[in-house]
Structure 1
């Protein structure tokens, strides 16, 4: 019976470690969902070779966090498996098997409820972030929360084609800011990146415009084509943004 309790304790500690990893990665600017995925991935030893993973491993602080998670995860998984085997191999009677199995199932069910509880996750994350900010030099940069990326707004790359409405215009001529769209940067076709581009910067075919704005607005802009229909769509977008600003001011 002691072995079952030991296993549940190991699993509980593993849960806290992955939550610590999630909170730590979040403080480096990673979105909560990506931080949780990478934390669990590193702890369990399951790798994901995606562009998002490259953003993690190319960052020094994030690499250190993942290394710690991998080391602790390797030890934790081995301990958990060993404890589980010892628990059931030590049972000599049928009643012992049943009682230990029932206790294990109940314990796992409780841990699952705790792990999937949004209320517990919210408050635990706040506590862990406070601890990390108090005892580490990680800076709180949860861009997903700061920019409301889980709500109406998003960051999206618009790949410019020859017949797009923005193609051939300077950023100032597009007046995207009047539509409530901010140009964060431009990926040129030759691999060059222009951060916080100026108004006179021209938009060219093959560019990747990194935009921040409302999800519906960015989707419409991606489908907008050059010519009078595109100009009319721009005018409607500007009018819509002005109306939204008036509504926001009225609610302030």
Structure 2
């Protein structure tokens, strides 16, 4: 009986470890389905090679989670195997074999029902997520992967000074979208955060802007001053963006024609 209990404890702990790891991976930006797959794969040592796996390995926080999973997984599997062997090898009489097999199957069936219960899963997910947010610092998302940042495109912070071209204007006056730049958020000096600001939002001195766009365009915007040269630079940036959009449109047409020909 002690061996069977130790088996159930090992299986329960294994399931709990993978659930915690799944939630931790979710906090780093992975989808819930991908996080569960990667956690179970690492814990069981399956070693599936996928594009998602490469994203996990290249992310420092995810890599640390996977390393702990691999370590605990090896220890857990050894414990389970040793418990099963101990249970059946130390028992000689057939009636005890049957009884222990019955207890083993009933216990695993009960554990499976509990794990699949939606209410239990919902409560456990909330508890694990609360614990991870309270006692760890895992909210480190791989924004480059989430936004599919490739080539020259970047997410960049820009501090607004009083002499900048951006200062003391509304977003619709700046026409940053015409330059191929998107304002994802604004951090005010008083720590107020404005997410997905609209056109009527004012840009104030000392604001911290979170911008998305081409690196060269973002760097040029950061050096732009509130004078005639700033307006000239803005118009030039708009023309460059129009040229880029035209090139992209021509590439799309060419690609569509190539696909239709096949």
TM tier, shorter chain? Answer: 0.5 to 0.7
Q: TM-score, normalised by structure 2?
A: 0.57
1:78 aligns with 2:78: yes
What stretches of structure 1 of length at least 5 have no aligned partner?
A: 148-154, 157-170, 173-194, 208-223, 227-252
The CA deviation string for residues 102-155 of structure 1, in whole angstroms up to 9 with x for no partner, is: 110011111211222232222211110110111111117699xxx9xxxxxxx9
1:66 aligns with 2:66: yes
Alignment of 1:231-250 (within 5 A): none
Alignment of 1:219-234 (within 5 A): none
Give the equivalent residue in structure 1 for 2:122. 122
Q: Is the 8 A contact 1:23 1:35 kept in 2?
A: yes
The CA deviation string for residues 67-112 of structure 1, in whole angstroms up to 9 with x for no partner, is: 0000000000011001001101111111110110011001111121
What stretches of structure 2 of length at least 5 have no aligned partner?
A: 149-176, 179-211, 218-240, 258-262
Give the equivalent residue in structure 1 for 2:20. 20
Larger Rg: 2
Q: 1:206 deviation in Å?
A: 6.5
State the distance in 1 between where 2:116 and 2:7 align. 19
| Alpha carbons of structure 1 residues 205 and 3: separation in structure 2 relative to 1, 3 Å | farther
State the distance in 2 between where 1:142 and 1:122 align. 26
Alignment of 1:200-211 (within 5 A): 200=242, 201-202=244-245, 203=248
Moved over 3 A (4+): 140-143, 195-201, 204-207
Give the equivalent residue in structure 2 for 1:233. none
State the distance in 1 between where 2:41 and 2:2 align. 29
| Alpha carbons of structure 1 residues 134 and 36: separation in structure 2 relative to 1, 3 Å | same
Q: TM-score, normalised by structure 1?
A: 0.59
Give the equivalent residue in structure 1 for 2:44. 44
| Alpha carbons of structure 1 residues 205 and 42: separation in structure 2 relative to 1, 3 Å | farther
Q: 1:52 deviation in Å?
A: 0.9
Q: Is the 8 A contact 1:26 1:35 kept in 2?
A: yes
Give the equivalent residue in structure 1 for 2:6. 6
State the distance in 2 between where 1:54 and 1:205 align. 33
Give the equivalent residue in structure 2 for 1:97. 97
| Alpha carbons of structure 1 residues 114 and 77: separation in structure 2 relative to 1, 3 Å | same
Q: Is the 8 A contact 1:26 1:140 kept in 2?
A: no
RMSD, aligned α-carbons: 3.3
State the distance in 2 between where 1:206 and 1:129 align. 44
Q: Is the 8 A contact 2:25 2:35 kept in 1?
A: yes
